[in-house]
Amino acid sequence: MEKTKSISIVNAFPAGFFLVAGLLIFAPLLKNQMITGPLVNFLLFSSAILLGRSVALSFCVFPSVISLASGLLPLILAPVVPFIVLSNMVLVLSFDFLRKKNLYLAVIISALFKFLFLSSTSSLALAMFKKSAASQVALMMGYPQLFTALAGGFLAIVFLKIINEKKKHDF
């Protein structure tokens, strides 16, 4: 009888960690919020499931810092970065808490929580900006955040379903 070798998530952890971390660093360099946003959220949702809540929470810092450093996020918006990081943490925590009940509902609710948190906190920060910059902040931290979180979440669901199907057929 021939033994088969399978790779578990535990055995693949270092590779998965570096892959996701690398992508989270690379994604903001694309400099397009409607591409970067869903990709970053996809990686946050996927890492919460594949690598665990603690690792996913640590990944919440990378996208904002890289976006600021690469110019995707204008320098004038630097004071909003902590709110973005916290909104990513809200996304990961709420998703991780809800995902075992209903994956689709978990994506929708956590995306909504992220959107509500970021849009409300960034509106508080608007007082620090000139009027022209404030409208830019409001636009970037508003509904596009909801769209990108939902898109990233549903991409993650599709990706995870593909992985599960592949695992069932690889013995």
Of residues 117 and 66, more confidence is placed in 117
Residue indicated by tokens 């199907």:
165
What are the tens digits of pLDDT across the range 35-77?
Answer: 788 888 998 999 899 889 998 999 899 888 888 887 777 787 7
Contacts of 151 (CB under 8 A, 6+ apart): 37, 38, 41, 42
Residue indicated by tokens 């978990």:
106
What's the count of helices (H) and strands (E) in the chain, helices before strands? 8, 0
Q: Residue type for 154, please?
A: F
Mean pLDDT of 118-123: 82
pLDDT at 134 over 60: no
Alpha-carbon separation of residue 28 from 23, 59, 63, 117, 171 (angstroms)? 9, 13, 6, 21, 37
pLDDT at 5 over 60: no
Mean pLDDT of 123-150: 69
User: Considering the chain, what is the average pLDDT of its residues?
Assistant: 78
Confidence at residue 112, expressed as pLDDT on a 0 to 100 scale: 97
Mean pLDDT of 107-121: 94
Of residues 17 and 9, more confidence is placed in 17
Confidence at residue 68, expressed as pLDDT on a 0 to 100 scale: 84
Nearest to 29 by CA among 59, 60, 61, 69: 69
pLDDT at 136 over 50: yes
